[in-house]
Structure 1
Amino acid sequence: MADTTMAESQAEAGSLSTRVIELRKRRGLTLEQLAAASGVSRSMLSQIERGKANPTLAVTLRIAQAFGMNIGDLVDQPWTASRIEVIRSDDASQLFRDDRDCRIRTLSPLHMEKHVEFYEVRLAPGARLHSAAHFEGTRELLTLTQGCGKVLAGENRCELNPGDSAHYHADLEHTIENSGEEELVGFLVVTYQ
């Protein structure tokens, strides 16, 4: 019985370490930045990420709050059929980027981001969203709902109008550009193979 409990504890620590690393990198945070946001020391976060520490409930809660989620979401509880996940339009924790040129809002729950990501993208007139090549096999599907735009992926280019969709390789350097005079609004789905 004691061996089972120890094995379960190690599995939980491993799962949490993977989750914290994934969320921190996904949000572009350093250990120092996550430490400042959570109030958990950098050394403790490092130990958690390496699976060397099993944090207390209070520490886990502070880390979850730093990511704008509850403990259940942080530890990635199994999906239940009765659960409906809602991402509210005014939830600032879902903003991936928000500046004068570009606003990107995550529409997919964080636990799905291992396979698919879903975003609302808004670009000011003349603004560009340039991305380095993602992991091999990554694809993007962009559908415009407002404005006109261009997509450049490697050597390939296309023009888009409202209602148009473009599917392209995102494992190449790529750019979404607002080529119109009004705000570009679109939905972007990123898939990983």
Structure 2
Amino acid sequence: MSTRFSPSSHTRIWEHLNDLDDDIQSLLNPVDPPDPEPSDLPRCRGVITTNKAMSSGDSTINGWTEQYNVGSGWNASTGIFTVPAGQAGLYTVGLTVSFGSDSTRRLIFIEGDAGALLARVEGPASGYSQMCVATEVQLTAGQTLRPRCYCTSAASIRGDQSPASFFVRRVL
């Protein structure tokens, strides 16, 4: 048995079938936003290549020389990285510091929002020492990261001996 359609109903049926086909195709092949190119992902790196005095206590390491800052999330003068809008994801962050003066206790750490300790390493209290710490962390837009150090007495970062470095890179 055959069903006959008038020319006007024929157009509506084809439109309906096309709509159904579009719905089925979208279920079978969901359209995800394209992954950003690695060159578009936020990242920054800075160094300190001269001696830098650090007071006793807990301090944000600032005064970096910027090597790159893709996405403009990093303020090299303050040392604070802020996740740009629309760039939530998994980030790798690392900090390397050489100390050049004695102190009874020295450590470096990476701090997140509200003082959250993300990673830390403690080095020897005397002599020259180089410390490195790195971690991965899931971040949302607007969250911040800070490179920090703690010394029980005044100390110096020996950038002339081995440059201090700080990097942040979105990986996913």
- Please state which band the TM-score falls in when normalised by the shorter chain: 0.3 to 0.5
Q: TM-score, normalised by structure 2?
A: 0.34
- Larger strand proportion, structure 1 or 2? 2
Higher relative contact order (CA 8 A, sep 6+): 2
Q: Which of these two proteins has the greater Rg computed from alpha carbons? A: 2
- Larger helix proportion, structure 1 or 2? 1
Q: TM-score, normalised by structure 1?
A: 0.31
